[in-house]
Structure formats: C-alpha cells, structure tokens
Structure 1
C-alpha cells in the first residue's frame, strides 16, 4: 500500500532501522535479510531526500530529520497495532495474552504476589512478563515495549494516563548494635552518616536522591549503591550505615535480621506508587481488567498474603 508515493511497509523498516541503528539487527528484528534491509534504507533515503542514518565512529547515528521522523513513525505504528490488536471483549479465563509490565523489586515483593493470587482466584490464564525499571520508563510505553508501568508518580509522563495505586513512606534501617540504633534519629545524625541507596543500572542518580535533592535540597553521603531495594536492609548489618527504604519492605525483613527501624527525620518523606499506560490503550479491555486487578491488589497490601481475596 502506498500513501503519497511512499510504500507504507517502509515505515516498519524505518522504525527498525532507527531503533537498532544497525542494518543487520534491524533486518533480524522484522525478519528481513541484510540485503533487503539495505534496499529498504536506500529507498527511504531516496524518498525523504535525507541520509537518515550516517556512520559516526564506527556506528550509525540518525540525522536530525530521522530523529524527528522516529517519534512520529512510532506513534503511527502504535496506533495501528492498538487498533488491530484490540478485542471487543476480554476473558482472563480463556485468554493467553501476555502483558509486559515494568516494575521495581519493591513492587515485585509487596504488590505482585497479591496480583498473582487474585488472578489465580479468577482462573486467569494470562501471562505476565515482568521487567526491571529503566530510565525514562515512559519511552517504553511509546515504543510499544511495555503495556503498563508501575512507578512513583514523579517518573510519570504528563502525556499518558496514570492512576494512584497506593502510598508508602520511608524508614531508616540500621544495625541493632550500631550507635545509630540508640536514641533518636535526628537530622544531624542522619546527614552525618554514610548511606546505602538504590541506583538503577541505567540511571545517573539514585532514586531517593531525586526526592532529597528536589524536595529537601539535601545531599547525602552515599557509601554504597545497589540496584536492588530489597538488599539494602541486609547491607547495613555489621556497619554504621543507614538504609532508607520503604516501610512495607523494611517491616517484611525486620523479623529475619538484626536491624531496627527509625523514622526518617525529614517532613513528608513518602511516595505515591502509580500505574501508567499509553493513552491509545485506555479502553483496551485486557488492560482495563489488569488495572482493576492491580487496584484490588493494592487495597489488600497490608493483609496477610494468604488471607481471603489477596
């Protein structure tokens, strides 16, 4: 099919080329040979009268025109995919649809088990693909790589819908034999100590530092950074380090390791966990079902895991 003399199949090739920035990998992505993909690139260059991809330091980089085209092409292809894939009804008992969700290890521990329990009670046959959080997670929605994000509200994009799932606050975790375990955790003691924090693998700044920098104007001394929230309470044992972690996560491990919890000596150190999806998929019956189930799971976060509905 052609539109204004452009073979629309070339849009799929253009998206693959600009995503992979490599002719061979782009061909593999859409099941074309290297020669066929090279031919597609040549035709695209001719149509747009632009090189689109140029060699820079041994790799291909998009031209300014290509950068502008990529976002528009992604948007068009996602609209088509959403329209074609949409089903008028969704039954989790018969569907084997796979949902891709980006979640932190914190949500994996406190929220996802309840989601799975609820899905099981409904006799659901759907599949979940859980992927780790990344920098700029909304891009995963726009590139069609995720159906749903479960992220703090400060990371949400203003361009797509979001809903609050639950709130939590942070607590200090310290080794029970550390001097920090005795007495109040004052702001002076907190800021004078060394800290363990969580830093995603592709982020420049640890997650909590964004809160402290933006809302409090504080700069903590980070002695250890890890990619896993759940590891932080274990890392303070035998040290004078402070770990600042979600209350629900901290209280899960409290009976198992020699640590004590202290209030964070700062006002309003809390966060809002939200879910976000692409604006074109708001009425997707499958996502409507999944979002409803997540809300129900969030409502039972503080129940025993084997109790009733959650």
Structure 2
C-alpha cells in the first residue's frame, strides 16, 4: 500500500531504524535480512531526500529530519496496531501474548505474586516481562515499548489514561534491638538518627518528596536502589527506613525488625496503572487491567 508514493511498509522499517540507530539491529527487530533493511533505508532516503541516519565513527546518528519523524511515525504505527492488528477477542488460556509492564521492585514484591497466582488459577498461557522504572518511563509508554505502567499517580503521564489500583501508607522499620524499638518515635528522634533511603532511577521516592514538601529533611546515611532490600539494612544498626506499609509487614515476618508509626503524617500513595490512550479497547489489555484489579483486592486479604 502506498500513500503519496511512499510504501507504507517502509514506515515499519523507518521506525525500527530510528529506534535502534543500527541497520543490523533494526533488521533483527523486524525479522528481515540486513540487505533488505539497507535497501529500505536507501528507499527512505530517496523519498525524504535526507540521509536520515549518518555514520559517525562506529555508530549511526539520526539527522534533524529523522529526529522530527521519530515520534510521528511511532504514533502512526501505534494507531494502526490499536485499530487493526489487535484481535477482537482475547482468551488468556489460549493466547501466548507477551505483556511488557514497567513496575518498581515494591510492586513486584507486593502485587505481582497475586497476579501470577490469578494467572495460574486461570491456566493462562500469556507471558509477562517486568521492566524497571527507568528515567522517564512515560516515554516507553508513549512509544508503545511497554503495554502498561504501574506507578504512583503523582508520577503518571498527563497524556494517557489511568485507573486506580490501591492506596499505600508508610511505616518506619527499625532493628528490634535498637533503642528506637522502644518508646515513642518522636520527630526529634526520627531526625536525630540516620536513615536508609531508596533512590529511584526515575526521580525521588514518594515518601522523600512528601516529607520534603513539609520541610522535613532526614539525615541520609545509606542510599540504595531497591525498596525490597532496604529493610535488611537496618538490622544490627540504629538506622531507620521509612517504607511502604505492605513491605513493612513482609519484612516484619522475615526479619528481626519492628514497625513504628511515622512521627509525621504524609498522604497515602495512590498507585495507578496507566496505558496508551490509543489502546483502551485492546481486549488483551482490558483483561490484564481487570486481572490487576482482582490481584490488588486479593493482596489485601492476606
């Protein structure tokens, strides 16, 4: 099919080339030979009267024209996929579809096990790929590189649809032999001791931002990359970790730690799922969203 003399199949090749910035990787991505991809690039260069990708040392870099095309081309392909490619019905017990989700390790620890349990009960054949929430995860959603994000509402994109999953409060964890395990954990004691803080790749942790909004800044002795492992770091120390209440309950069952109320109130975190606005009616994503809502309800029956 052609539009204004452009073979629309070339848009798939162009999208892969602009995403991978490599003829070899682009060919692998769309499952064609390298020579076929080179030919596609030559035809694209002729149509757009632009080099699109130029060799710089061992790498290929996009031209300004290519950068201007990158998002519109991806947008067109997402629209086509949403309107034409998606199947009218979805049966998770038959489909081997692969869903790509961006999640924090907190979500992986408290929610995903319940989703997997539900999938097991439904004899699902679908597959999940869980991806970390790197810097600007909204970009991956925008480009259709992930199917769904699970993210605090305040960090979600304003351009796409969200649905509430659950709310989360916060607790403090301390080693059970620490003096902080006894007596009231006042704000003065809270600020006098060192803290373990998780620093996400995509910005500031929710509780850090919430405390900072109240003018409260902790003495941070340890910065880590994992919510799930942070509770282990207070054992045999006088450190404090401020953590999601559900993770705190998990840690208290497995570690010599005790949970203490926070000395200052912060608003609960609202966790939402978000998907591309063009894919609201995708039957597979409708099933996945419903499965996540069921998993969230079952999570709190523990």
- The answer to whether the superposition gives a TM-score over 0.5 is yes
**Equivalent in 251, 254, 264 of residue 253 of structure 1:** 251
- 1:121 counterpart residue number: 121
Q: Deviations over 1:259-299 (max 9, x none)?
A: 12122223324201111111111111222122112112212
Tell me: CA distance 1:210–1:12, structure 2 relative to 1, closer, same or farther (3 Å): farther
Contact conserved, 2:174 with 2:238, CA < 8 A, in 1? yes
Using the TM superposition, give the Cα deviation of residue 206 of structure 1 relative to its aligned residue in structure 2, in angstroms. 4.8
Query: How much is the aligned-residue C-alpha RMSD, in angstroms?
Result: 2.3
Instruction: Give, in whole Å, the separation in 1 of the partners of 2:102 and 2:33.
Output: 32
Instruction: Give, in whole Å, the separation in 2 of the partners of 1:199 and 1:145.
Output: 24
Contact conserved, 1:105 with 1:228, CA < 8 A, in 2? yes
- 2:232 counterpart residue number: 234
Instruction: Give, in whole Å, the separation in 1 of the partners of 2:224 and 2:32.
Output: 40
Contact conserved, 1:102 with 1:146, CA < 8 A, in 2? yes
Q: Deviations over 1:160-197 (max 9, x none)?
A: 11011000111111112223333322333333332212
Contact conserved, 1:172 with 1:245, CA < 8 A, in 2? yes
- 1:307 counterpart residue number: none
- 2:219 counterpart residue number: 221
Aligned length in residues: 302
**Equivalent in 284, 288, 295 of residue 286 of structure 2:** 288
- 2:295 counterpart residue number: 297
Instruction: Give, in whole Å, the separation in 1 of the partners of 2:250 and 2:258.
Output: 12
Contact conserved, 2:137 with 2:202, CA < 8 A, in 1? no
Contact conserved, 1:149 with 1:277, CA < 8 A, in 2? yes
Instruction: Give, in whole Å, the separation in 1 of the partners of 2:275 and 2:203.
Output: 25
Tell me: CA distance 1:288–1:296, structure 2 relative to 1, closer, same or farther (3 Å): same
Contact conserved, 2:106 with 2:247, CA < 8 A, in 1? yes
The residue matched to 1:276 in structure 2 has which SS? Answer: strand
Alignment TM-score, normalising by the size of structure 1: 0.87
Tell me: CA distance 1:93–1:39, structure 2 relative to 1, closer, same or farther (3 Å): closer
Give ranges in structure 1 of 5+ residues lacking alignment. Answer: 305-310
Write the mapping of 1:54-93 to structure 2, written as runs, cut at 5 A.
54-55=54-55, 59-93=59-93
Instruction: Give, in whole Å, the separation in 2 of the partners of 1:216 and 1:55.
Output: 51
Instruction: Give, in whole Å, the separation in 2 of the partners of 1:290 and 1:244.
Output: 31
Write the mapping of 1:24-103 to structure 2, written as runs, cut at 5 A.
24-55=24-55, 59-103=59-103
Instruction: Give, in whole Å, the separation in 2 of the partners of 1:31 and 1:268.
Output: 50
Contact conserved, 1:174 with 1:180, CA < 8 A, in 2? yes
Contact conserved, 2:171 with 2:248, CA < 8 A, in 1? yes
Comparing 217-226 with 293-302, greater Cα deviation is found at: 217-226
Tell me: CA distance 1:218–1:25, structure 2 relative to 1, closer, same or farther (3 Å): farther
Using the TM superposition, give the Cα deviation of residue 217 of structure 1 relative to its aligned residue in structure 2, in angstroms. 4.2
Using the TM superposition, give the Cα deviation of residue 57 of structure 1 relative to its aligned residue in structure 2, in angstroms. 6.7
Alignment TM-score, normalising by the size of structure 2: 0.89
Residue 244, structure 1, aligned to residue 252, structure 2? no
Instruction: Give, in whole Å, the separation in 1 of the partners of 2:25 and 2:216.
Output: 44
